[in-house]
A and B are shown apart, each in its own frame.
Chain A
């Protein structure tokens, strides 16, 4: 079994919409060309913000993470990473037509397979699925799950309806069937405002509120009973910020004591469900700036099995080689980098040498 680090969240950049055209069915390719589709980069990560690509990782055109070679040199080599999971965040997931969105999901997954996975054996990917239609999402999971390099199903933290709602359950059934965790990543299809009281005015505000959305979605997954219904499903929260978790669990647990008659299927304490079934990637890590404070926070999280190493490449979350928050203890560092990812991703246990 490997002892090389496993990076659980990296983002290949789709350089332009037309890069996906070779992977679109002919009808959809003609549609995109005839109608003159604009580029579909998401406003969750506008191309030129300092956060979207770390400055020293930008190429001559100002883009980052556009080739496997660039990614390997900048994100794998510095950390001795042996395996890296790619999460494609392209904005086509916000398309309103079920069929068009499904076509672009197929294209994205095939593009990742051919342009990335085929070119570097260390790379793995998440299956991008249409978020508007669970039936089509299941079709895509079934189609791509045959390729064991796809190790997870990717969903955005803010989509059509709260993640726990039953219309999403076929996705969870398919993921569980194929031993794929559900990876929930920061980002939105902007069907709803980023806050519970409307639209923000800045990118900074949108991004800060991503960690708020994770809290709401964890409530949905818990309250709707997803963890009871799918007993072997794991949920990975990616780019969530992490440090919101203890205070969130304290509040949810308190209300669960008072309101559990509303959700009787949640029979185990919510915090223990989360500690067993939820994992979080460790960039960004919105923590205090002292070692004692970090120890306290990890202690409040209550489990060092939950945290997964991730660079969030090419997003700018750290400088130099400080991909692991520098004050994290050595023991946790090892668990985050190897042991926890292997426990989380069944398919890595099968396929990583």
Chain B
């Protein structure tokens, strides 16, 4: 994590990583909704100016739990002119893509209208965000691939948006968030999976969101650290829901990537799901395979923020359980808890394992040659 980095201007020397890498979680950022106005009807521009976009949380702006750093960003990722981290391609390339030798970067724009209370507004912001991703990012840098940001609480609108971009070479996945209004395996969301599978797009499910429910089954916690740790618990609930509802039975070639929710928990969750399903399968007759088999076939995990056991070798043991082919390297640039590819995985890996985690798995999952 980059917690002690001072507020310095200009590019920073970053350790050179010899290996070409895929970064499966990069956050481009607008300068506010105005950046998206060129792709938005006047009606929604006016709406945003007057009413803003509100979410199932208390404040007009900012998250329910104040972040650890402004915008949850690295202090050295602000531009000298004051523009926020992630808002400028040239600076991102200079600070991150070039020195870290990122040859494939998956863009996950957050704060892009997903989960907004007004479903039509949510749709308008998502649509404009997708146009902006192409215009400002992927058309200018071929290393970058975009996510179709969808208004997932309105699955019909989400499907239309997926279909609008299906076949477009710049888009590699459909982006959803973990904290939805209902667990993501439930049928209201199935049209999204059907459309993603048909378009051969990965479904990326990033931590965070605005479902309105407490992040724990015991109510609202007090602290940001509880929320941040809690995203791993939410990701476990997401996988549980997808598996037990039969999503992977219905959509057998669906590829789901869990982003920024942790990875090491996947082994224990698979053991638990298998053990309980063996006893309780009468309740879930649509499942034809062990839950762990669906996880091994249909689910991947990005690394950042990678768990840090002591000793670190225990992480390799955990990857053995989960499957090295399931692990996708990610930095979360430009956020404060960025994982530096030169330091984030200090475990002994064979050369094939290293290549798989840092590049090849991502190319396979996202279908990028």
Contact = CB atoms under 8 A, between A and B. Distances in A.
B222 A209 contact: no
A165 B245 CA distance: 34
Interface string B217-248: 11111111110111011101110110011000
B233 A198 contact: no
Given A158-B217, A284-B275, A196 B268 contact: no
A220 B1 contact: no
B309 A300 contact: yes
A208 B1 CA distance: 31
A205 B240 contact: yes
A163 B184 contact: no
B268 A195 contact: no
A252 B283 CA distance: 34
B186 interface: yes
Contact of A50 (B267, B279, B284): B279
A316 B280 CA distance: 11
Contacts of A203: 280, 283
B307 A250 contact: yes
Contacts of A211: 236, 268-269, 272
Interface stretch (B18-26, B33-41, B140-148, B173-181): B173-181
Interface string A190-228: 011111111111111101110111011101100110000
Interface residues of B, number: 70
B213 A197 contact: yes
A287 B267 CA distance: 9
Given A204-B283, A300-B317, A197 B183 contact: yes
B215 A216 contact: yes
A188 B276 CA distance: 18
A248 interface: yes
A41 B178 CA distance: 32
Interface stretch (A59-67, A72-80, A239-247): A239-247
A89 to B, nearest CB: 16
Q: What size tier do the contact residues of chain A reach?
A: 35 or more
Contacts of B237: 195-197, 209, 212
Residue among A204, A215, A257, A271 having the largest count of chain B Cβ atoms under 10 Å: A204
Interface in A233-271: 241, 243-244, 246-248, 250-259, 262-263, 271
Between B183, B184, B213, the greatest number of chain A beta carbons within 10 A of the residue's beta carbon is seen for B183
A198 B276 contact: no
A46 to B, nearest CB: 10
A201 B237 CA distance: 12
Contacts of B218: 157-163, 188, 192, 213, 216-217, 220
Nearest to A260: B225
Contacts of A223: 221-223, 225-226
A246 B14 CA distance: 31
Contacts of B230: 196, 216, 219
Nearest to B274: A286
A263 B262 contact: no
Nearest to B226: A219
Contact of B308 (A163, A209, A250, A262): A250
Contacts of B336: 258
A22 interface: no
B307 A259 contact: no
A192 B216 contact: yes
Nearest to B228: A255
B334 interface: no
B57 to A, nearest CB: 13
Contacts of B268: 211, 241, 243-244, 246-247, 286
B133 interface: no
28 contacts: A50-B282, A158-B216, A158-B217, A159-B219, A162-B226, A192-B217, A195-B213, A195-B217, A195-B234, A197-B237, A198-B180, A212-B233, A215-B229, A215-B232, A215-B233, A216-B215, A219-B225, A220-B222, A243-B272, A251-B229, A251-B265, A254-B306, A255-B337, A257-B3, A262-B224, A263-B225, A271-B310, A286-B271
Interface of B: 1, 3, 68, 178-184, 186, 209, 211, 213-226, 228-230, 232-234, 236-238, 240-241, 244-245, 262, 264-265, 267-269, 271-273, 275-277, 279-280, 282-284, 305-310, 314-315, 317-318, 321, 336-337
Interface of A: 49-51, 157-165, 188, 191-205, 207-209, 211-213, 215-217, 219-220, 223-224, 241, 243-244, 246-248, 250-259, 262-263, 271, 284, 286-288, 293, 296, 299-300, 316
Given A220-B222, A246-B309, 10 more contacts: A49-B280, A157-B218, A158-B216, A163-B218, A196-B214, A197-B180, A197-B181, A197-B237, A258-B337, A284-B275
The 5 closest A-B CB pairs, nearest first, are: A247-B264, A250-B307, A216-B216, A195-B237, A286-B272
